[in-house]
Structure 1
Amino acid sequence: MKTTTYALALAASFTGANAYWKGFNSQATMGNGACKTQADWEKDFNVMKALPGGFSSIRVYASSDCNTLANAVPAAIATGGTILASVWTQDDAHFDREKQALLAAVQQYGVGWLVAITVGSEDLYRKETSASTLAQKIYDVRGMMTTVNGGSSIEIGHVDTWTAWVDGANEDVIRACDFVGTDGYPYFQSTMSNPIDQGSNLFWESTQAVRDVVNRVKPGAWVWITESGWPSAGPTENQAVANVENAQRYWSEVACAAFAAGHTFWYTLQDFAATPNFGVLDANYNPLYNLAC
C-alpha cells in the first residue's frame, strides 16, 4: 500500500514544468571506493532536491554491483526520489545477477520508484557486443518485467554514445528500444574544433543526428539525453579547456535547455576521479558553480 500511495503521489506531481524526468548520473561508490549505503543514497537524493530546479531523479549504472538497487531503492522511496535503473550486460553470469537484483527490487517495492530501465551502457561504443545480441538482452529484460505487477508499463532502452547510434550497424538495438539514451561530450570531440564557444552547437548537432536516425528506424521512439557535461578540472582536449568557468557556461547554455526540452540525466552529481572532473558538487556536496537555470 505504501508503494501504491507513493506512485500515485509522484504521478500527480509530474505535470507542467516537471513534465520531463531530470536528474543526475551517480556512481555507487564513495571517494574511498566503498559502496554507498542506503544513508549515502539518501544524502544524494536530499542534496539534489535542494539544488535550484528541484531535481529528484538519479541514473544508476548497475543493479547488483555494490548492492546498488538494494540500497538506492529504499533511499529513493524515503526521499520521494526516482531512479533510472540500469542492467549491465557483460558476460551471461553478470547479466543474470543484474536481472535478478532488478527483479528482487520490483517484487519488493513495486515499480513506483522506477523512471525506466536501461539495458547496457556504451556497449556498442566499446564494441563489447553485437547489436543483435544486445537487442535480445533488451527483449529479455522486457519479458522479465511483464511478470511483475505494473512492469509492462516500464519503458526499456539502451544508453550509448551518439556516434554508436548513428552507425547503421546498430539499428537492431534501436528497434528493440522503447527509448534511446544518447551520450554526447563536445569536450571529447577531438576530430573537430571543440572550444567552449562551440560546445552548445556540437552537442545539439549530435543529439539531432541521433533523433534523425531514431525517427527513421523507429518513428515515435523518444531520444533521452542520458549523459553530457563539461569538466571543471582536467586536461585540455583538442581546444576544449576544462575549468569552472567553462563548466558553468556549458551548464547554462546546454543543461538548462536540455532539462526544459526532454528527459535529461546530467553527468554527474559528484566525480571522485582526479581528472577530468565532471561533478557539479565538490567532495563536501557543495555546488562548484551556479546551477540555477
Structure 2
Amino acid sequence: MKLTFAATAALLPALALAANHFRGLTAANAIGGNGAYTCRSQAQWNTLANDARNTGFTSIRIEGFDCNALDMASSAAAAAGLQVMAGIYVNGNIAQGMVGINNDVQTFVAAYKKYGAGRYIGLTVGNEVNDSVYNIMQKVYDVRGYLRSIGVSTPVSTAHTWVFVRDNPEMCNGDFGAANAHAFFDPNTQSGGAGNFLLNVVRPALDRACGGKVWYITESGWPSRGNRLNQAQPSLGDETSALTQLNCAARSMYVYAFEYDDQYWKNGATEQSFGIFGKVDLNGNILKAC
C-alpha cells in the first residue's frame, strides 16, 4: 500500500525514548574526528549502535559497504535491537561503478542471509549519483529484479537530493522514496526553520512529484562550522536549534538525522561538521522540545 507523508505519521514506531521522533541516524563508515579516512572497528560500531539505541533511535543508515561496514553495522545493530537502512556506494556514474555495485549486491545478499530479512528497512543503490535518471533507475530495477529472483524481499530504491527528485519524477519509481534534504543549503532558512522547511517545502514538493509514496528523508541536519549562507548560519547553537526542529518535524515524516559524528576527512568545515554525538545534548535538550 502506498502512503503519503501525512499517512505515514500513523505508522511511526514506538520509540524507546518517546521524545525521539527521528526514524534513524545516518553514520559514516569512518571514525569521527580524524583527518584521514579511517575505518570504524567492530567495537566502534557497537558503541555507535548503543549510543543510537540509548537516545531513542531505532535504525542506522550506512551509505556504503567499504570497511566491511555492512557486516559490522548489522552485527552492532542486531545486538542493540536496531534496524539498518543499507546503502550501496556508487563510485562515479553507474557505468563506472557497475562492478562495485554488483559486488555489493552479493555482499548484501550474504548479510541478508546472516542477519535476517527483518534487520533491513531498505537498500539504496547510490546516494546522489551523478548520472542520468534513466541510468540510475535502470540499475535500481536491475538490482531489485535480481534480489526478487533469489527470494530477497528488501525494498530497493536510490537516494538523491530532494530538488533532483522534485525535478525528475522518474526517481519516484523505486519501492520507496529516499531524498536528502538539508535546510542549511537553502540560504533563506535559518536553523529554527529547519523543521518547517521539511514540512512546508520539501514534503509538498515530493508529494506533487511522486503522488502517494512512502518517503524517507535519508539525510537532514545542520553544520556547526563553516561559511554562512545568507540566513543559514553554521554554529553549535544553530545545529542544536535545527535538530530540535527536525525532531519535531519527524513526528509526521520519516527522517534520518545526519550524522553520527564529525567527519574531518571531508572537504571544508561545513561538510565536516554535521556530527551530533559528542557535541549536542540529545536527551537533555533536543529531544525534549516535542
- Smaller-chain TM-score range? 0.7 to 0.9
Aligned to 1:233: 225
The CA deviation at 1:24 is: 0.7
- 1:195 is aligned, of 190, 193, 197, to 190
Within the candidate set 82, 104, 108, 1:102 is matched to: 108
Cα distance in 2, alignment partners of residues 95 and 208 from structure 1: 32
Aligned pair in 2 of structure 1 residues 236, 16: CA closer, same or farther (>3 Å)? closer
**What residue number does 1:92 align with?**
98
Q: TM-score, normalised by structure 1?
A: 0.80
Q: Secondary structure at the match of 1:272?
A: coil
How do 1:34-113 and structure 2 match up within 5 A?
A: 34-51=38-55, 54-63=56-65, 65-90=66-91, 91-113=97-119
The answer to whether the aligner puts 1:290 opposite 2:285 as a matched pair is yes
Note if contact 2:195-2:249 (Cα within 8 Å) is conserved in structure 1.
no
Query: 1:100-148 deviations in whole A, cap 9, x for unaligned?
Result: 211121122221211111111111xxxx211111111111221232245
Unaligned runs of 5+ in 2: 1-10, 92-96
| 2:203 aligned partner | 207
Percent of aligned pairs with the same amino acid: 28
Cα distance in 2, alignment partners of residues 21 and 194 from structure 1: 21
The separation in 1 between residues aligned to 2:171 and 2:260, in whole angstroms, is 28
CA distance in 1 between counterparts of 2:12 and 2:277 reads 28
Gap regions ≥5 residues in structure 1: 1-13
Q: Secondary structure at the match of 2:177?
A: strand
**Mean Cα deviation higher: 193-202 or 107-116:** 193-202
| SS state at 1:58 partner | strand
Q: Is the 1:280–1:288 Cα contact (8 Å) retained in structure 2? A: no
Note closer, same or farther for the CA distance 1:75–1:227 as it changes in structure 2 (3 Å cut).
same
TM-fit CA distance, 1:23: 1.1
Letter in 2 for 1:255: N
Please state how far the C-alpha of 1:226 moved relative to its aligned partner.
0.9
Counterpart position of 1:174: 172
Retained in 1: the 8 A contact 2:90–2:100? yes
Rounded to whole Å, the distance in 2 between the matches of 1:148 and 1:263 is 29
Amino acid corresponding to residue 275 of structure 1 in structure 2 = A
Q: Aligned partners of 1:106, 1:48: CA distance in 2, in Å?
A: 22
1:270 aligns with 2:261: yes
Q: 1:249 aligns with which of 225, 234, 241?
A: 241
Work out whether residues 248 and 289 of structure 1, in 8 Å CA contact, stay in contact via their aligned partners in 2. no
What code does the residue aligned with 2:82 have?
G
Higher relative contact order (CA 8 A, sep 6+): 2
